[in-house]
Amino acid sequence: MALNPEELDLDTAAMQAKYEQTVREQQSQLEKEDLSDMVAEHAAKQQKVVSAFWRENAAPVSIILLCKMSVFLLSY
């Protein structure tokens, strides 16, 4: 918290009140902060990772699943 030169003459109670007001204003500002851009950015990064994984692993995974299904079906 910063004080103006004219506020240096404030008594302890007045300084405490100014401090509490400053803290309330900062908390109010934090509550109003829009985080949707950060959330959207994070979701886009996750989607890229998942897409890359499936591009690289979709064929091998599909072949393995088909083989397991074939073995299962042949066992009956």
Mean pLDDT of 20-49: 85
Rounded Cα distance between 66 and 76, Å, is 16
pLDDT at residue 3 above 70?
A: no
The vertex-57 CA angle with 51 and 63, nearest 5°, equals 135
Domain of 15 in residue numbering reads as: 10-74
pTM score of the predicted model: 0.38
Q: Is residue 4 part of a domain?
A: no
Q: Cα dihedral sign for 42, 45, 51, 54?
A: negative
Q: Is residue 54 part of a domain?
A: yes
- How many domains does the chain divide into? 1
pLDDT, greater one: 12 or 3 = 12
Q: Is residue 3 part of a domain?
A: no
